[in-house]
Chain A
Amino acid sequence: MIWVGWRQQRWETIVAAAILAAIAALLIPTGLSMLSSYNNDGLNSCAGALQGGACDAAARSFIHEFDGIGNLIAWFTLVPGIIGILLAAPFVTDLERGTYRLDWTQGITRRRWIAGKLGIAVVTAIVAAGVFIALVTWWRTPLVRVQGRMDNSVFDSEGIVAIGYALFALGLAAAIGAIWRRTVPALVSAFALYFAVRLFVDTWLRQRLVSPLHATWAVNGRGPSLDKAWILSQVPTDQHGHALSLTVLNCSKAAGATCNTAVPTKGAVQYFQTVYHPPSHFWPLQSVEFALFAGAAALLLGLAALWTARRVA
């Protein structure tokens, strides 16, 4: 069954490899040039040093130099999902064209066929996502030292979550395809759903997966180290961490005697409260998000397998 599965998935494997090769063709040269400019700018010796001065300027110009390509690479986060959906195609095509009837009436049971078919797609998806992560992570190595990797636009291409995305997309397309048995509409709607789920997780859910830290600090004093952190919000507060309302702020600015509030308005804003994920939250966030996507993928693949075994004739 392994040979049959590979043979039926040949075209999809080639396309996935071509996508990864194209990404590599873009990332490897630019990555090398970024690495050399990182070393030449002397940023290497700045790492961990106090902020400010020459290092700060160098870092800023370095980031600026690779901003454009960095924005492009933020879009690459969709690649593992696209590869996952693509790898569901051989499974759905067999159901659509009726060729599963040929395979199922040879000597093996449909259970083994389903397991082999989906198993090969799962392995390929994991390998492809792994290669993708390795490429992007290598490319971003110098940037990570300057910027960190907590930012929403890069978080999802590093660590392990991208493997979860690929598996989730594969499961989604396989489940929709098992029920619908039409390849193109199933894959297109799987991509739409996948995109919607990713958007929801990126913009709303991710920051809530692990409780963020809260820090209230005096403007004049030393705040928490927000270097390379993912800052969710930063608001002016009183010393107890209660957010200041707009009227209070306006009053303090005007230093007006006409303001009639209970809050003392001695001087300008004196405290800030920051809600943030420090860099140490990277792996906890990655693990929880990966578990969510991989768990959903397992459920969807199970649904696809069960539906095919029970309902398809």
Chain B
Amino acid sequence: MSDVPVLRTEDLGKRYGSTWALRDCSLEIPAGSITALLGPNGAGKTTLLQLAVGLSRATTGQLEVLGLSPWADQETLLPRVGFVAQERPLHRSFTIAETLKLGRVLNTTWDDDLAVSRIESLGLRLSQTVGKLSGGQQAQVALTLALAKRPDLLLLDEPVASLDPLARREFLGTVMEAVAETGMGVILSSHIVADLERVCDHLVILSHARPLLVGPLDELVACHRLLIGPRTDPATVARVHAVIHESHTDRQSSLMVRANGHVYDTCWEQHEVGLEDVVLAYLGQRHGPAERVLEEAVR
């Protein structure tokens, strides 16, 4: 696996009519990483993934996937990218065997043994009709189709959104197994934070069509703190650290900060935070501090 970033964008923007679905998007995701694309509905996650797989064409800016342009180099890039679209569209009247045949005839690279053995290991029969499978089984069939291409990059758009917790765990387990075997990169979008902390090592938070936070998940979580102290104006803290989110009661203030080094001010009680706290802090604030943080975060 080379060191070419799986995804690199520069001022990427996509406009539908007069609405920007994605804008000012500059980020780089290194090879071999498993990236969570987080954000509320309508944040631009689907737009970014569809641009990355060449389903739509950027309005502005640069976009490279595995060093290639998804729109211009479609024929060389498509065989290297596995994609499962939102709501995992499948031909409902097809049997599983026919779905696999579709993959075989429409792909230049196709591992039929892998596909068939994966279907068997899921306890499914090739003669079953896709439309009659459960949501979790359909997700697994769609994933099989994407994996049998032996892709270098797997893009999953809200793959677990409509699944129950058990199916969600099984699905992500399958993804992780495949990653362990092949070392491929994965970008998966979600608006559910819970499952991702175990799975992902990179994080992109999108909100209102813009990226708010990009980086390795460990570092990002580690550099955020929750400060709790007597009620004060956070201005002093803000001079050194970036205040992401603040909330005040009559007697105390809690600040979520992206710490710039150590917090020495002893009047603050410091707490470690989890991924979910960080994500909610970023999504909880709309415009304001995030815009300032953005510059720094992307760098």
Contacts and interface: CB of A to CB of B under 8 A. Distances in A.
Interface in A66-118: 97-110
Contact of A4 (B54, B75, B85, B102): B102
Contacts of B55: 101, 104-105, 313
Given A7-B94, A97-B89, A105 B78 contact: yes
Interface in B24-68: 50, 53-57
A313 B70 CA distance: 13
Contacts of B103: 106
B91 interface: yes
Contact of A109 (B53, B75, B98, B142): B75
A107 B94 contact: no
Contacts of A110: 74
B75 A103 contact: no
Contact of A102 (B75, B90, B108): B90
A101 B109 contact: no
Contacts of A98: 85, 87, 89
Given A7-B98, A313-B55, A313-B56, A107 B108 contact: yes
Contact of A3 (B74, B101, B142, B149): B101
B216 interface: no
A307 to B, nearest CB: 14
Contact of A106 (B87, B91, B94, B102): B102
A254 B149 CA distance: 93
Contact of B83 (A3, A97, A99, A105): A105
Contacts of B142: 102
Nearest to B16: A313
B105 interface: yes
Interface in A224-247: none
A137 interface: no
Contacts of A100: 89
B79 interface: yes
Most A-side CB within 10 Å, residue of B50, B53, B89, B106: B106
Contacts of A109: 74-75, 78
B186 interface: no
Interface string B88-116: 01110110001001110111111000000
B244 interface: no
Select the residue from A4, A7, A107 with max chain B CB neighbours within 10 A: A107
B90 to A, nearest CB: 6
B149 A107 contact: yes
Interface residues of B, number: 32
B12 interface: no
A8 interface: yes
A57 interface: no
A313 B98 CA distance: 25
Nearest to A94: B91
Given A3-B105, A4-B106, A98-B85, A105 B74 contact: no
B78 A101 contact: no
A104 B57 CA distance: 14
A108 B103 CA distance: 10
A237 to B, nearest CB: 63
Given A99-B91, A313-B50, A105 B107 contact: no
B81 interface: yes
Contacts of B74: 109-110
Contacts of A106: 78, 102-103, 106-107, 145, 149
A32 interface: no
B105 A4 contact: yes
A144 interface: no
A108 B75 CA distance: 7
Contacts of A21: none
A1 interface: yes
B106 A101 contact: no
Given A107-B149, A313-B56, 16 more contacts: A1-B106, A3-B105, A8-B91, A11-B93, A101-B83, A101-B85, A101-B89, A102-B89, A105-B83, A106-B103, A106-B107, A106-B145, A107-B78, A107-B106, A107-B110, A313-B57
Interface of B: 50, 53-57, 74-75, 78-79, 81, 83, 85, 87, 89-91, 93-94, 98, 101-103, 105-110, 142, 145, 149
10 contacts: A1-B106, A4-B102, A4-B106, A7-B94, A7-B102, A102-B85, A105-B81, A109-B74, A110-B74, A313-B56
